[in-house]
Amino acid sequence: MARWGMVIDLDRCTACQACVVACQVENNIPPASARTAERGRAIAWIRLVPFGKGEGGEHPSLRLIPVPCMHCEHPPCTKVCPVHATQVGDDGLVGQVYARCIGCRYCTTACPYTVRQFNWDRPAFPEPMEAGLSPDVSVRPRGVVEKCSFCHHRLQNAKDAARAAGRPIREGDYLPACVESCPPGAMAFGDFDDPRSTVSRLAESHRAFKLLEELGTHPKVIYLSKGEWGGES
């Protein structure tokens, strides 16, 4: 089995948010109204987290870091779910079963990265958007939790295509929408179990680090940055 993961090179990232937009479109995430956003209820599976440095000082700086679900190897969210609605799948992806979730939001509070999202409202798409919803991804009902799936449906499609062609799945067959859309090519995706994969190579870089590594969650999203990155939260 593969161990899918992501590497984000912060030295290349321009914080353009193309990944955020690609994700919204790919995964049928309802656009938030101004009021919803103001109330802190906009749903985003990948968001730019502002890490500030020297706040209030003479040279304040802000670094925006894209944060999707870390698909931890030891996720704090899956074990607290009272109904097994979130589990680690065979490919190491942390999945969410929308049809079973009771909406208690224990997983959202247990996640140290705050990447889990809740459907406070019924999802609403403006007129032309509704026709353009992706048929591969279900629209989530009100009252359940959702989060980045590493575009799990793309993995299914890639596996099917590979099987039809009678070959194993290869690097590049399966890329989440955010990785595919990244204009400066700051995001890489692949199998950490394959030592020759791009992500495995990048992960060995001296620039590599993980978010909140000290919590022992073993994230499968690895960041690259030269020198100080301002993330000593």
Buried b (16+ CB within 10 A) or exposed e, 195-219: eebebbebbeeeeeebbeeeeebeb
What one-character DSSP code corresponds to residue 174?
-
Q: Is the four-CA dihedral 172, 72, 134, 38 of positive or negative sign?
A: negative
Closer CB to other proteins, 106 or 174, in the complex = 106
Choice from 89, 138, 143, 205 touching other proteins (CB under 8 A): 143
Choice from 60, 114, 124, 213 touching other proteins (CB under 8 A): 114
User: What is the smallest separation between the CB atom of 5 and other proteins, expressed in angstroms?
Assistant: 19
How many whole angstroms separate alpha carbon 118 and alpha carbon 86?
14
Closest CA to 11 of 225, 231, 223: 225
Beta bridge partners of residue 145, listed in sequence order: 118
- The DSSP secondary structure of 187-218, one letter per residue, reads EEEEETTSTTSHHHHHHTSTTEE-TTGGGS--
Closer CB to other proteins, 110 or 158, in the complex = 110
Binders of other proteins: how many residues, by CB under 8 A? 47
Choice from 31, 103, 137, 209 touching other proteins (CB under 8 A): 103
Query: Can residue 150 be called a binding residue for other proteins (CB under 8 A)?
Result: no
User: What is the smallest separation between the CB atom of 124 and other proteins, expressed in angstroms?
Assistant: 11
Choice from 23, 29, 101, 179 touching other proteins (CB under 8 A): 101
According to CB under 8 A, which residues from 26 to 85 bind other proteins?
38-42, 47, 49-52, 67, 76, 79-85
User: What is the smallest separation between the CB atom of 85 and other proteins, expressed in angstroms?
Assistant: 8
According to CB under 8 A, which residues from 208 to 227 bind other proteins?
211-212, 215
Q: Is the four-CA dihedral 91, 92, 93, 97 of positive or negative sign?
A: positive
Q: Per the structure block, which two tokens stand in for 134?
A: 């992706």
Closer CB to other proteins, 51 or 229, in the complex = 51
Residues 6+ apart with CB under 8 A from 176: 6, 23, 26, 68, 150, 151, 154, 189
Query: Can residue 15 be called a binding residue for other proteins (CB under 8 A)?
Result: no
Query: Can residue 139 be called a binding residue for other proteins (CB under 8 A)?
Result: no
According to CB under 8 A, which residues from 184 to 213 bind other proteins?
211-212
Number of Cβ within a 10 Å radius of residue 53: 15
The residue ranges that bind other proteins (CB under 8 A) are: 38-42, 47, 49-52, 67, 76, 79-85, 100-106, 108-110, 112-114, 117-122, 141-145, 211-212, 215, 233
